[in-house]
Amino acid sequence: MRRTLLSALFASLALVAQTKYKQPPEAILKVLRAPATPISSVSPAKTHLLLLEPDRYPPIAELAQPMLRLAGLRINPRNNGPRSPQGSFKGLELIDLATLKKQALPLPAGARFSSAQWNPQGDMAAFMAMFEDRIELYLLDVKAGKLKAIPSVRLNAAYGDPLNWLPGGRTLLVQTIPAQRGKVPEASLVPAGPDIQESFGKATPVPTYQDLLKSEHDEALFEYYCTSQLAMVDAATSQVTFMGKPGIFGGAEASPNGASFLVSKVHRPFSWVLPVNRFPLDMEVWDKSGKMVASIAKLPLADRVPLEGVRTGPRSVNWYPTDGATLTWIEALDGGNPKETVPHRDRMMMAKAPFTSPQEVTKFEQRAMGQANFLKDGRMLASDYDRKTKRIRMFLVDPSTNPAKVDEVSSRSMQDRYRDMGTPVTEMMPSGQRVVVTEGDFAFFNGQGASPKGDRPFLDRVNLKTKEKTRLFECGEGVYESVVSVLDKAGARLITRRESTTEPPNYFLVADGKRTALTSYVDPAPEMRMVKKQLVNYKRADGVPLSFTLYLPPNYKPGTKLPTVMWAYPREFNDADTASQIAGSPNRFTQLSGASHLFYLLAGYAILDDASLPVIGDPDTANNTYLQQIVAGAKAAIDKATELGVTDPKRVGVGGHSYGGFMTANLLAHSDLFAAGVARSGAYNRTLTPFGFQSERRTIWEAPETYLTMSPFLNAHKINEPILLIHGQADNNTGTFPIQSERMYTAIRGNGGRVRFVYLPFESHGYAGRESVEHTLAEMVEWFDQHVKNKAD
């Protein structure tokens, strides 16, 4: 009796401990550590292909280095660059496209390289070399096949655009650390008084931003680390010429003729509730000496921007690439408020040097979408987007006429992947500006080629006037091949990236009907070729077509009912037609990385990957039926997998990341379809995201019932299946504060639920560190092995 009471007592207690990092089974580790396919970068001259080897899984010791969280930025104070090591490279290889000669380019010891910044001629490329205590400028001489350092330059990459080539391609404009910036500001141990914030009676809704300024000391640190000195660096002589005074530069770009510079500068007053991209901003034109010759805009603190709105005043300011010194930009005509009823929401402006008399080019009925794509003859491709209908239109605009001639090129729902004509192919001009590759009225469009059979990438030659299309390339059956670069004006010579379920990704030169291999990467994980996958179509109870990709583990025996993982991410759609469209391709090479749920395959699970869970309805009210729709979608997926004979419906686990983690908790709270769940980096209490989340446009005060009903935190007492919560302690994604998982854990625990909470030190929204990734995989497998695979009947 005493033993029974003690057992019950200890069973009711929560386990709180800091454990050592775990590793998943050896079969998973082997595949996890397999090399990744390098990233490609083609020179503007189309003569060379540069391959960059990603640097994955830095040790946790690296993530544990000091980090400053300032104004929405994460800064490494040791090298004055971004804290995140992701997106950097540890190896370079250069391929001559004429001779196919390959050359490895050794990197300096202790350095990671950024992506390549090519000069217009394509005979040099610039890189940031990121060391522990500094960021240096390195140049690649393509002809010599050598890298060289510019030793006198220390780059400041904490904010802004650290390096750009100037027209002519022989000089770089860079952001450097000011020589006389002094010592790091020190915080006073004794406060001068309380921190005070005040609002003056005007509505100022803001999303749940993170890493914001919190004190005057933070403001001083932000200024210290983000202040740069602009400088021009001669690539041949390494001579450095400073330009203007130091400042906090959001960007600095030379005009096509090289005589002027568009400079954006952030300045005080800073905000403690908004990130740096909302701070006051001056946009100016400078000459080469750094003297301001024109003021384009003085934008105040953007603390009155409506939800889903835009800043008033000039935005998307850019040089007109086919003129010596002409600027274009977009301005809101609706006060930046998408809820205002107006005949036109935006207009495009143009200003020639000396920039004193801006002229209107054209108006847009809906919100203009960022920067236009320019053609060599001065015309441009510009787009607008209707927030209500989610419709996107592309126009061909000719600003040489008055008024500008505007022809519609395409119109589709932004969610309609099947009718996406692709993205215009661009090339670099001698000025360094990019323009659409054209021949008369013809332009190339590179697209994903979504279809009911999956993605089939294509390259089209499109007449922009008649809309007539000629297909120059299309991915064949049974493979996945996409165009990396168009090498000639006819679209007859291409570089492609090709793969299949059995062939690893490799790069090819396609010309004259022949395909010549540029790389010969071998299968890094042959055991994964025993994995079977297929695209499965089915319907929800209300008739909405759905799909998932079914993965079966190595050596699967047909007819065996397996423990199964459904991994999903709900998405909102206006209609069932777009909701039912197929995304992805069943012909991709299965290559696992990071904390991927597909590693469950190596533990003997079937996987229903990217199971469709559409939430269909009017964008303003679709979430009113969110719970009913995701439960119906999940049931349909399990029923289909059971019908196929691969799934044991009593042994199905559900999982997801971010909004998928939110979905997981809701499915466990509002259905009994699953044996257990894994929820990573989710937001579970919608009262903590009161001004909207995901595609929800209403505030909690406008739709309180929806917010509360959708919050699994408020339904924690209904979660009666085991759930594993995983979250990075340094998550900076909007809305997914780490406190979300902390409070969700206490809510489930307090109501007697079975829950485990893994809190990953130094990790953000996604998990990067080697030890963190390995531990996450170990936890995921162990949890489902215990509560799904070996679930007691």
Long-range Cβ pairs for the range 237-244 (8 Å, 24+): 238/150, 238/151, 238/152, 240/152, 240/153, 240/176, 242/176, 242/290, 243/173, 243/286, 243/288, 243/289, 243/290, 244/286, 244/289, 244/290, 244/291
Of 736, 773, 750, 770, nearest to 758 by C-alpha is 773
346-352 sheet: strands from edge to edge: 315-319, 326-332, 346-352, 359-364
* CB neighbourhood size of 250 (10 A): 19
Of 116, 146, 118, 110, nearest to 128 by C-alpha is 116
Of 399, 266, 243, nearest to 321 by C-alpha is 399
Angle, CA of 346, 352 and 356, to the nearest 5°: 85
The Cα–Cα gap between 680 and 245 comes to 46
Angle, CA of 88, 91 and 94, to the nearest 5°: 115
Asked if 765 is an active-site residue, the reply is: yes
DSSP bridge pairs for 759: 727
Which entry of 658, 671, 741, 764 is annotated as an active-site residue?
Answer: 658
Which entry of 670, 765, 775, 787 is annotated as an active-site residue?
Answer: 765
Do the strands 723-728 and 315-319 form a parallel or antiparallel pair, or are they unpaired?
Answer: unpaired
CA distances for 125 relative to 138, 519, 529, angstroms: 8, 21, 37
Do the strands 606-609 and 562-567 form a parallel or antiparallel pair, or are they unpaired?
Answer: parallel
Of 385, 409, 405, 376, nearest to 395 by C-alpha is 409
Which entry of 731, 764, 772, 787 is annotated as an active-site residue?
Answer: 731
Helices 626-643 and 659-670, interaxial angle, to 10°?
A: 80
Three-state DSSP class for residue 328: strand
The Cα–Cα gap between 689 and 352 comes to 44
CB 273 within 8 A of CB 218: no
Active site residues: 658, 731, 765
